[in-house]
Amino acid sequence: MIVAKRKPLNEIAEMVAPYKRVSVIGCRSCVAICLAGGEKEVKMLVSALKVKNKKEGRDQEFEALVVERQCEKEWVKEVEDKVLGSDITLSMACSLGAQTIGDMYPSHVTFPGLNTGIFGVPEEQGVWSEKCVGCGNCIIHTTGGICPISRCAKSMLNGPCGGSANRKCEVNLDTDCAWSAIYDRLKIQNRLELIEKVTPAKDWSTSHAGGRRTYVREDAKLTPHQKKGKEAIQ
Amino acid sequence: MKAGSNLEKVFESGKFAVTAEIGPPQSANPEPLTHHAKMMKGSADAFNLTDNQTAVVRLSSIASAVIIMREGIEPVIQMTCRDRNRIALQSDLFGAAALGIKNVLCLTGDHQIFGNEKPAKNVFDFDSIVELQVFDQLRREGRQVGGEVVKDPPRTYLGCAENPFATPYEYRVSRLAKKVAAGADFCQTQAIFDMVMFEKFMDEVRSRGLDKKIHILAGVIPMKSAGAARYMKNKVPGMIVPNEIVDRMKNAKDPKEEGIKLCIEQIEHLKTVKGVHGVHIMAVAWEEIVPKIVEMAGLLPRPTFQ
Ligand code: SF4
Ligand code: SF4
């Protein structure tokens, strides 16, 4: 899932300070699960902002809202009146939610309340770790199911580097060296021959390096006729 | 001969090679390079110019190489993948070759977190092994990684680094084998303090016949103080410094003299290890000691060729 962190309270307060009516909109998907921007976090932020305003004598109105999935237009539509009825929207979804609202209502100002970070996995209560950076050409079948692009600090294809000590990464001694982990995994799978061979240069054009990506499923797209029908219903 | 460099000639002649490191200055002043080149001339077969080592901004390794070449000594330039994508790597290889630089050491590079520009965005389009493979293909086939044919390809002698003391230990020789397969001609090891562990590494190198395919330069670092020994033991990832060595430095009356003595003993020992074809002396911020160490280790005069 997408893992995000709320921005510091002061930064948010400063961002929204010039606006009178603020709609704060959370999301019930990834960011709710990672405890950053679900219903509870939206309410907590709004009360914190109110307390801060009271102390500092600022007069602002906040409305706490939450949608099912903020990255999908259909769900955002449900709060359209609230969005347009405010002077600014603070999105407590990941940046995809914030940009969905922004793209739907271009003359309305939408700010991000979260810092969107990683495609991550909950390791334990309150801990998420990055396991993919969306390179667009997955190779983990050759690396024991462990992604070296996201989990190695140098995205090496032929690791581990010379800084791996005690199977930890030289960049952060609390983090496992991805390539040590790959070695261990391939060893227990009896597939060590995979890292005896040189892995050649990677084609990064499928990653963000190739420019903004759009994925299209032709078979899932609506025909012009179906589109018209859908619009008519809405 | 692949490149015809002095270093290559020394290896090919079967003589025990000596290389030494020169750290370029953190400024635009060429003077320290000229000074070190003059001082060290004749004490090693080639001099290694680091490439923004530990991600600290320094005078570029290619420019440094040209500066020391003016003093009549041969450079080995390091080229890391941290700051260059495949366009820049190949372009710099052409540039280096055109300037007369014949030895290139391929490195992945230290992460920018260690340096003085921590918020930098890194590149890592390649790692050192891919870099070797691409450079080797360029010199052998005159073909870029993207397929473009190069009419006058660079003739470069290719080096790599390997650390026998990084984990997983049992994989390090395999990794060296990958570097050989990728085209490395010589390899410079991490500084060796744990001889027992290094000998084990070399046993496996020989049992896999790698000593016949690559020239290994064993790395040594002369230490000035017990503090330096402790620092390397505790702070440098992937470096093993046994307690006896830290103690020896701590108990020494004259730590500098002890450091020199220790380094010479290490070199004497390394000369006897089969498959080791030379030493690489990394006297970081103590370059002036190199001529003395080389002399005392009985490695002078350095061979010369027509
Ligand atoms: S190889 Fe690419 S797609 Fe696969 S997990 Fe890693 S970053 Fe994601
Ligand atoms: S220590 Fe391991 S994870 Fe860290 S940069 Fe080196 S190979 Fe990658």
**Per-residue model confidence (pLDDT) at position B281:** 98
Asked whether A139 lines ligand 1 (CB < 6 A), one says yes
Banded model confidence at residue A230, pLDDT cuts 50, 70, 90: confident
Nearest beta carbon to residue B86 from set A161, A164, A201: A201
Tell me: do A81 and A107 sit in the same domain: yes
Q: Which domains does chain B have, with CATH numbers?
A: 6-296 (3.20.20.220)
Residues A5-32, mean pLDDT to the nearest whole number: 98
Tell me: do A112 and A9 sit in the same domain: yes
Asked whether A121 lines ligand 1 (CB < 6 A), one says no
Residue pair B145/B134 in contact by the 8 Å Cβ criterion: yes
Residue with tokens 């032929």: A158
Query: Which tokens in the block code for residue A115?
Result: 């810092």
**Per-residue model confidence (pLDDT) at position B198:** 98
Determine the straight-line distance between the first and last CA of chain A, rounded to whole angstroms. 30
Query: A33: buried, middle or exposed (CB in 10 Å: 19+, 13-18, 0-12)?
Result: middle
Where are the extended beta strands (E) located within B43-156?
A: 46-49, 75-80, 103-107
Work out how many domains chain A is built from and give that number. 2
Tell me: do A147 and A79 sit in the same domain: no
The CA distance from B200 to B216, in Å, is 15
| Its pTM surpasses 0.90 | yes
Q: Taking an 8 Å Cβ-Cβ cutoff, which residues of chain B contact chain A?
A: 81-82, 86, 108-111, 113, 122, 124-130, 133-134, 145, 161-163, 165-168, 171, 174-175, 177-178, 181-182, 190, 237-239
Tell me: do A48 and A99 sit in the same domain: yes
Q: Is residue A230 part of a domain?
A: no
> A160 contacts in B (CB within 8 Å)?
166-168, 171, 175
Tell me: do A94 and A11 sit in the same domain: yes
Residue pair B245/B229 in contact by the 8 Å Cβ criterion: yes
Tell me: do A76 and A106 sit in the same domain: yes
Query: Which tokens in the block code for residue A169?
Result: 């990464």
Residue A92 sits in which domain range? Answer: 2-118
Tell me: do A142 and A103 sit in the same domain: no
Tell me: do A113 and A158 sit in the same domain: no
| pLDDT at residue A47 greater than cutoff 90 | yes
Sign of the CA dihedral running B180, B189, A202, A199: positive
**CA nearest A154: which of A121, A130, A177?**
A177
Please state, as a whole number, how many other Cβ atoms lie within 10 Å of the Cβ of residue B40.
24
**pLDDT, tens digit, 9 for 90 and up, residues A96-122:** 999 999 999 999 999 999 999 999 999
**pLDDT in tens for each of the 306 residues of chain B?**
999 999 999 999 999 999 999 999 999 999 999 999 999 999 999 999 999 999 999 999 999 999 999 999 999 999 999 999 999 999 999 999 999 999 999 999 999 999 999 999 999 999 999 999 999 999 999 999 999 999 999 999 999 999 999 999 999 999 999 999 999 999 999 999 999 999 999 999 999 999 999 999 999 999 999 999 999 999 888 899 999 999 999 999 999 999 999 999 999 999 999 999 999 999 988 999 999 999 999 999 999 998
